[in-house]
Amino acid sequence: MTVNIKNIRQAAARLDGVAVRTPLLQNDYLNQRLQAKVFIKPESLQHIGAFKFRGAYNRLSQLNEEQRALGVVAFSSGNHAQGIALAARLLGMQATIVMPSDAPALKLEGTQRLGATIRSYERASEVREEIAADIAADTGATLVPAFEDPDIIAGQGTCGLEIIEQMDALGETTQSVLIPCGGGGLLAGTSTAVKALSPATLVYGVEPQHYDDHLRSRQVGHRVAIDATAATLCDALMAPMPGELTWSINSKSVTDFLLVTEEDVAHAVSFAFRYLKLVVEPGGVVALAALLANKLDVSGSTVAILLSGGNIDSTVFTRCLQQYPSPE
């Protein structure tokens, strides 16, 4: 089981006219600060405020009538939840989402508003995968994982397809692409598209410092699990271990993994608001955070970054702005 550029192009055809083809932006101040040409793809402007809609719709749109009648079930801390909820609503299906009780209020509210049924659970004492599997077994609903699914990965890969197509249209070639990394689905799909269309481009995954399961896996040559109990601003990237399918792709297509601190992330949230005029959530801003914190030397080069989501609670957003009122 794998994902290739043909699968991603097929996903793009399904998403045509449904998903937002988000723009590729530049910012003079950012370019000057980094002495580089930086192209920004803001998936915070996607439906539900995150890239997750792409994979969700690509997966659900392929269910047959009988499967659609039985509905879908998923587990998520928020963005996959909203992506599934909206895709299900557009396709006339019922969705049940297993969400942690401490999920950001904005993401909980968004999922409910889109018509999904929420089954809340406690991270410390319950296993979301087991809850979702039980619901699927009891109802016959199709279980849709957040990243361990080739159709989900192919849908997310349309981000990479668009980046290269948009760069080509501008007469530009990017030397590197930086992508947020949690479970690895976005990275797997995007890296597949980028390497197929621009083989010389280097692809970097970016993780928060306490959730560095991909970097650790790279260092030892196989998937490793981490202690996923540390507090982090990056609620969207709290994966305890790379997925088996996503790792089989990312271990080959990704050049390296970069780590950012909580301070790097908070600074980047404030920077994006002040200079890019974009509201970006902590997990979605890590690629920008890596550049601003000089985790990768891009001076003199052309680089593309993906801002993967904008679903940030007002309290967290305010805290970031107060912590870095004048981000430079």
How far lies 204's CA from each of 160, 259, 306, 316, in Å? 13, 10, 11, 26
Any idea which fold 5-51+149-323 has?
Rossmann fold (3.40.50)
Q: Are 77 and 107 in contact (CB under 8 A)?
A: yes
CA dihedral (135, 138, 141, 144) in degrees, to 10, reads 40
Any idea which fold 53-143 has?
Rossmann fold (3.40.50)
Q: Are 19 and 165 in contact (CB under 8 A)?
A: no
For residues 42 and 1, which has the higher predicted lDDT (pLDDT)?
Answer: 42
Rg of the chain over all Cα atoms, to the nearest angstrom? 18
The pLDDT mean for the chain works out to 96
Separation of alpha carbons 141 and 162, rounded Å? 32
Interval 219-236: pLDDT, tens? 999 999 999 889 999 999
Separation of alpha carbons 189 and 57, rounded Å? 15
Supply φ then ψ for residue 39, to 5 degrees.
-105, 130
Tokens of 35: 């002495």
Where residue 103 falls among pLDDT bands split at 50, 70, 90? confident
Closest CA to 23 of 173, 186, 166: 166
**Furthest-apart CA atoms within the chain: distance in Å:** 57
The answer to whether residue 106 scores a pLDDT higher than 80 is yes
Give the pTM: 0.96
Give residues with Cβ within 8 angstroms of 284, minimum separation 6.
Answer: 43, 44, 50, 180, 236, 307, 308, 309, 310, 311
The answer to whether residue 1 scores a pLDDT higher than 80 is no
Separation of alpha carbons 56 and 15, rounded Å? 10
Separation of alpha carbons 147 and 96, rounded Å? 17
H or E stretch covering 205: strand 202-208
Separation of alpha carbons 103 and 115, rounded Å? 17
Interval 242-298: pLDDT, tens? 999 999 999 999 999 999 999 999 999 999 999 999 999 999 999 999 999 999 999
Q: What is the domain partition of the chain in residue ranges?
A: 5-51+149-323, 53-143
Neighbours of 123 (CB within 10 A): 15
Whether the CA torsion 23, 27, 30, 34 is positive or negative: it is positive
How confident is the model at residue 116, as a pLDDT? 95
Mean pLDDT of 184-192: 98
